[in-house]
Amino acid sequence: MLSITCLGPGALFVPIVVMNAPLGILGCFQKITVQPTPDQTALMVIIHAVFWTLLFTGLAARNSLPPKWLCMIWWILVVALIMSVTGCAIQIGPGLRNEGNWH
């Protein structure tokens, strides 16, 4: 959370990044672009719902759930976050590069 305050004007893009994070998860399984299709938009909503449900369940029930369940919830969240970055980086990242006139 501290990093958001250090972003300066870049912090304005945090909501857009969070909104499009499930697109990276979809990118691990199918072709994606910056403009998601209607089917991908529906899947993004479902992924958001599952992610936030798991996060808040893990936080709210951390004292009552067995450690095995908590560990599973946190690992699912970690894998989802890694997939969201990896999927976007693999499919959208190369299109953002500008080689320019490097010599």
Reported as a single tens digit per residue, the pLDDT across 12-58 is 777 888 888 898 899 888 888 888 889 999 999 999 999 999 999 99
CA dist 67 and 4 (Å) reads 30
Average pLDDT for the chain: 84
Burial 34-55 (b: 16+ CB within 10 A, else e): eebeeebeebbeebeeebeebe
d(CA 70, CA 5): 29
| pLDDT of res. 44 | 92
Total tally of structural domains belonging to the chain: 1
Report yes or no on 76 lying in a domain.
yes
Predicted TM-score (pTM) of the model is: 0.77
Q: Is residue 44 situated within a structural domain?
A: yes
For residue 32, being part of any structural domain is answered with no
In a domain, 71, yes or no: yes
Residue-range definition of the domain harbouring residue 57:
39-86
